[in-house]
Amino acid sequence: MSLVVENAESGYDRAPILSGVSLRVEPGELVAVVGSNGAGKTTLVRTVVGQLALRAGDLADDDGSFARLSPHRRAKRGVVMVPEGRKLFPRLTVGENIALGRRAAGRRAGGEDPVDALLDAFPIVRERWGQQANLLSGGEQQMVALTRAVAARPRYLLLDEPSLGLSPLKTLDVFRLIELIRERTGAGILLVEQMADQALAAADRAYVLEHGRIVMEGDAAKLRSSDEVRRAYLGVS
């Protein structure tokens, strides 16, 4: 089974944004969604996790449709998001933020803790364990946000612009961490990202979103080498 978005329509107030969007994410797969600003990428992930109402279509995973579930119940089911801007609890420590992720795992907790592997590979998170989240750099905060999401034992992990505001070096660290998350957890990952070249290089498959519609989809490497994608999203003439 996979995470399935089927003919989804949603938007803000009376303004429609998504129109008939369909996509899927298999367990253990990294799927990128790329597109220009305003294409509907953030609207898509917010709709999947329940922050925006689905106006038409369906959302389903291994246990069937979850389109009518609250955001809390979707998270309990394993549909977890790292939002744009990270949204850590600023006055809580790194350890306390990650503990909240573990609490969200609920009945999915147990067995080997995937957080341990992340802390071993990126010890800066462990070194900052007792510090307040608002005292960390942007790159460190993004690592904590990703680690907190992994602590929630996601079956499907949605990442909204994880490179936003980061230096090129920190962006590379974040993409390395995303790949490690996939290896260690087996979660299906939906990556919404403005840095199209890096997203397509990391992904197995990809979708191109324009004006709230999917206009291209397929193997990420093939899309990355497509003249149309290169001109429109990679800045290559």
**In the predicted structure, residue 165 carries a pLDDT above the cut 70:** yes
Each residue's pLDDT tens digit, 190-212:
999 988 999 999 999 999 999 99
In this structure, which CATH number among 3.40.50.300, 3.40.30.110, 2.30.30.100, 3.40.1160.10 belongs to the domain 3-90+155-233?
3.40.50.300
Each residue's pLDDT tens digit, 23-66:
999 999 999 999 988 899 999 999 999 999 999 999 999 899 99
**In the predicted structure, residue 183 carries a pLDDT above the cut 70:** yes
> Which pLDDT score is estimated for 216?
95
**In the predicted structure, residue 230 carries a pLDDT above the cut 80:** yes
Give domain limits for the chain.
Answer: 3-90+155-233
Long-range pairs of 88-92 with CB within 8 A, sequence gap ≥ 24: 88/133, 88/134, 88/141, 88/144, 88/145, 88/148, 89/133, 90/132, 90/133, 90/134, 91/132, 91/133, 91/134, 92/132, 92/133
> Which pLDDT score is estimated for 103?
82
Angle at 221 between CA 218 and CA 227, to 5 degrees: 85
Average pLDDT over residues 169-176: 92
> What confidence tier does 13 reach under pLDDT thresholds 50, 70, 90?
confident
Secondary structure (DSSP) of 80-97: EEE-TT----TTSBHHHH
The HSE-up count of residue 68 (CA atoms within 13 Å, CB side) is 2
Each residue's pLDDT tens digit, 110-158:
667 889 989 999 999 999 999 999 999 999 999 999 999 999 999 999 9
The HSE-up count of residue 228 (CA atoms within 13 Å, CB side) is 7
Tell me the C-alpha distance between 89 and 53, whole Å.
Answer: 25
pTM of the model: 0.92
Burial 201-217 (b: 16+ CB within 10 A, else e): ebbbbbbbbeebebebb
Yes or no: say if 77 and 69 are a contact pair by the CB < 8 Å rule: yes
Each residue's pLDDT tens digit, 77-92:
999 999 988 789 999 9
